[in-house]
Amino acid sequence: MKKIFLAIASLVLAAGIGVAAVGCATGYAVEVSGGGSGVGLSNTRNGTFDLGMASKEVKGEDAEGLTVYQLCIDGIAIVVNNENAVEDLTTAQIKAIYLGTTDNWSDVGGADASINVVHREDGSGTRDAFLEKVGIDEETETMVEGTTLNSTNLVMQTVSGDKNAIGYISLGSLDDSLKAVKIGGVEATKTNVLNNTYPLQRPFNVVYTESRLAENDLLQDFLTYLKSEDAQEIIEEKGYISLTSRTYPAYAVPETKPETMELSVGGSTSVQPLMSQLAYAYEELLAA
């Protein structure tokens, strides 16, 4: 019996090692974690991440010790369930809903039902950007208590399942399962974000420390990639908005490949899906 047990155990171990070896042999690794914009900033500062992602403006205290590069622009869409009759809200109405002064859909043109407010968590860049653009000061005003969820996609799932819910998500993540309301008559589209008629927008920033940049040549090359046309193509494809004021060079894989094999990226969950795609495309380019 013991022999059989040992045989099975060694088989499993061998299989594991074999799979791992195959997997390991591939090389460059750009790991993209989440955690929120707050984590992105603090962990880049303390060195846990090589590159941080933030879905809001990084200035003042937040920017201490960090160099910021704006990757692209993203709109914030206010989303309601597809069955909700409301099509249009003003910033003032949204503010009133989130402060709790308006708590029934009938007050803003919908059915008679109480509004289920959905928040993002405290460290979310989307939340910070939303509050800033809508004009709610957290220090002085109390928002209505609503379901607090940890990521854009969870908000989407909740709002698409609850016909009385309202939430805010990244515009790039918007899909058919939800409806984005117009803000003061302006629809939430890329063009409207670019020409500044749609007010709810925020930058996607990446942050890094100069010291880490000097040490990690993979980071240097990845940043070159992010600043290139190839990256912008992916950004546009995913529904985010390139800064048209810049010109982007094409990316070429460097002659001598970077020495460092690992790159650790983390932060905003709004930027995370985009960054995962970019990381994957980058790895493919390097491995080729």
Partner 1 sequence: MAKEIVLREGEVDVSHIVPINRQSFADKARAYAHKPCSLIGFALVLLATLITLAMVLWILVYVFMQGVPHLTADIFAVRWTPENMSMLPSLVNTLTIAGISLVVAGVVGIFAAVFMVEYAKSTNIFVKIVRVAAETLSGIPSIVYGIFGMMFFVELCGWGNSLLGGAFTMALMMLPLIMRTTEEALRAVPDSFREGSFALGAGKLRTIFRIILPSAMPGIVSGIILGLGRVVGETMALVYTAGSAFNVRYPASPMNQGCTLTVYMYSLINEGNEYIGQAWAVAVVLIVLVVLINGVAEFIGNKLKKEY
Partner 2 sequence: MRQASIANNAAEAAIPVSRRAAAREIGMKVVFAVAAAIFIAAVIVICVYLFIRAVPAVGEIGVIEFLFGGVWAPGKGAYGIGTLVVGTIVATAGALIVGVPVGLLVAVFMAFYCPKWLYKICKPLLNILAGIPSIVYGYFGLQVIVPFVRDTFGGTGFSLLTTAFILGVMILPTIINISETSLRAVPKSYYEGALALGATKERAIFRTMFPAAASGIVTAVILGLGRAFGETAAVVIICGNVAKFPTSLLDSIRTLSSNIANELGYAEGLHREALIACAAVLFVFILIITTIIMLLRRKKR
The footprint of partner 1 (CB under 8 A) covers 1-2, 5, 12-13, 16, 19-20, 22-24, 26, 29-34, 48, 150-158, 160, 175, 177, 261-262, 264, 266, 269, 272-273, 276-277, 279-280
Looking at beta carbons only, is 14 or 92 nearer to partner 1? 14
- Closer to partner 1 by CB, 26 or 142: give it: 26
Task: Please answer whether residues 74 and 172 qualify as being in contact, where contact means their C-beta atoms are separated by less than 8 angstroms.
Answer: yes
**Interior angle at CA 25, CA 19 and CA 29, nearest 5:** 105
Distances (CA, A) of 38 to 41, 65, 272: 5, 15, 13
DSSP category for residue 30: E
Q: In terms of CB distance, is 22 or 250 closer to partner 1?
A: 22
* Residue 193 Cβ vs partner 2, minimum distance, rounded to whole Å: 26
Closest CB 112 distance from partner 2, rounded Å: 14
Q: Which tokens hold the place of 50?
A: 């090589």
Orientation of helix 272-287 relative to helix 217-226, angle to 10°:
110
Give the binding site for partner 2 (CB under 8 A). Answer: 34-39, 42, 116, 121-123, 138-139, 145-150, 158, 161-162, 165
Backbone conformation region of residue 125, classed left if phi is above 0, alpha if psi is from -120 to 50, else beta:
alpha
- Which of 102, 124 has the CB closer to partner 1? 124
Least distance between partner 2 and beta carbon 150 (Å): 7
Which partner, partner 2, partner 1, none, binds residue 162 by CB below 5 to 8 Å per kind?
partner 2
Q: Nearest approach, Cβ of 185 to partner 1 (angstroms)? A: 28
Q: Which does 264 bind (CB under 5 to 8 A by kind): partner 2, partner 1, none?
A: partner 1
Residue 2 binds which entry of partner 2, partner 1, none, with Cβ cut-offs from 5 to 8 Å by kind? partner 1
Q: Alpha-carbon dihedral of residues 96, 100, 106, 107, nearest 10 degrees?
A: -40
CB of 276 to partner 2, least distance (A): 17
Q: Residue 1 or 250: which CB sits closer to partner 1?
A: 1
Q: Crossing angle for the helix pair 272-287 and 229-237, nearest 10 degrees?
A: 140
Q: Least separation, in Å, of the C-beta of 37 and partner 1?
A: 15
Q: What does 155 interact with, of partner 1, partner 2, none (CB < 5 to 8 A by kind)?
A: partner 1
Residues 227 and 258: their CA atoms lie apart, in Å, by 17
CB neighbours (10 Å) of residue 100? 15
Task: Give me the sign of the Cα torsion angle 236, 241, 244, 250.
Answer: negative
Smaller CB distance to partner 2: residue 157 or 224? 157
For 237, how many CA atoms within 13 A lie in the half-sphere containing its CB?
11
